[in-house]
Amino acid sequence: MRRVAVTGIGLVTPIGNDLESTWSALLAGKNGAGPITQFDTTHFATKFGCEVKGWEADAPKYFDKRELKHIDRFLQFGIAAAAQAMTDSGLGAKVPAGQEDRWGCYLGAGLGGVKTIESTFLAQAEKGPRHGFSPYFVTDIIINEAPGMVCIRTGATGPNFSHVSACATGAHSIGEAMRAIRHGYVDGMIAGGCEATISILGVGGFNAMRAMSTRNDAPEKASRPFDKDRDGFVIGEGAGVLVLEELETAKKRGARIYAELVGYGANSDAHHVAAPAPEHRGAQACFVQTLKDARMDPSAIGYINAHGTSTDLNDKNETFAVKKVFGDHARKLAMSSTKSMTGHTLGAAGGIEAGITALAIARGVLPPTTNYETPDPDCDLDYVPNQAREVRVDAAMSNSFGFGGTNAALIMTRYKGD
């Protein structure tokens, strides 16, 4: 199989609108939660979230005024993160000339243009159907416009579509992109996830499920993965996109290599529309599959970027699954949830966290799990509590799980040259 390198990372998150600001905030333990500003939360049980800050000032770096009048927020985040990743890779705005058909984009989201759906429904209710609809309505709500617009901008004419798997979307996109490169369909891929559902429908729906924290008096303390006093997840928004390249192709052009992507697993719980299978049996099988794909023993993994949502069911079941698959080594590896700072960015989470995992390997620092104050007897591993940790790891795994019982995991390793 051909080897796959991570050569570019783009991040738009609630704690930073690019890679370096996000990374600095993670290591400082900065929290992205605060009162929701995008709609009136008076009658909502949850009144806070992890919003992307200052986007109105940064968006013109990527879009002209005409585009900003209609392009949905989730598309803006995804396109911007892809542009960042391309620049970070050293390729610039376009894929290599003459190789356009050897490059593609897999960029997904969980819910897509929810904000445009809301605003359009309200507009047509007020103005009537003749005046309430924009000609851009359809293209602003469908998820595959994210990779479509990225391909238009970069010139990539290879595969272009979206994986949609709730909170595992970004990880599935990256894993499937790796497979496309491995098997020779392409030489490079732009892959990840984006999301912007801090909205009436998004917050209202998750509140109705009683899945979200209602710690309105202290939003910055609300996302507390693996902590005994967690009371639900904190909704976030943003995007995470990676540039992946066939290793020899990347080496020939002198690319900087953050890490090698060596393992990918994907499976189904076949259990429940929203809850994980007991003991996270699906996740267990996914971890085993990912390790097998990477041809690695569990003892080789030094760090796990956990799904770690700050919900009762996920955190204790993810911990159980890690202990079951990794055995005694589970007590030796480090595992943290960066959702403690970014909140749960849903379809963007897998992309953001894959980028963070690659940075942790390349820079020798593990981001912490913040707000870890009261240990939960069911969550008893090393969660890198509250402080970043300087430690060199040669292999790391990033976990992502989604509604519908969908699971994904990625394994990356330090690139040591040949």
Active site residue ranges: 167, 307, 344
Rounded to 5 degrees, φ, ψ at 263 are -145, 145
For 314, the 3-state DSSP assignment is: helix
Burial class (CB within 10 angstroms; exposed 0-12, middle 13-18, buried 19+) of 61? exposed
- Burial string for 384-409 (b: 16+ CB within 10 Å, else e) reads bbeebbeeebebbbbbbbbbbbbbbb
- Label residues 349-371 b or e (16+ Cβ within 10 Å = b): bbbbbbbbbbbbbbeebbbbbbb
What lies within 8 Å, CB to CB, of 142 at 6+ separation is 112, 113
CB 171 within 8 A of CB 158: no
CA–CA separation, 75 and 78 (whole Å): 5
On whether the CB atoms of residues 356 and 305 are closer than 8 A, the answer is: yes
Rounded to whole angstroms, how far apart are CA atoms 239 and 247? Answer: 25
Quick one: DSSP state of residue 95?
P
DSSP 8-state secondary structure symbol assigned to residue 267: E
For residues 38 and 46, give the distance between their C-alpha atoms in angstroms, rounded to a whole number. 13
* In contact, 43 and 359? CB cutoff 8 Å: no
Q: Report whether 68 contacts 185 (CB < 8 A).
A: no
Tokens of 411: 């394994």
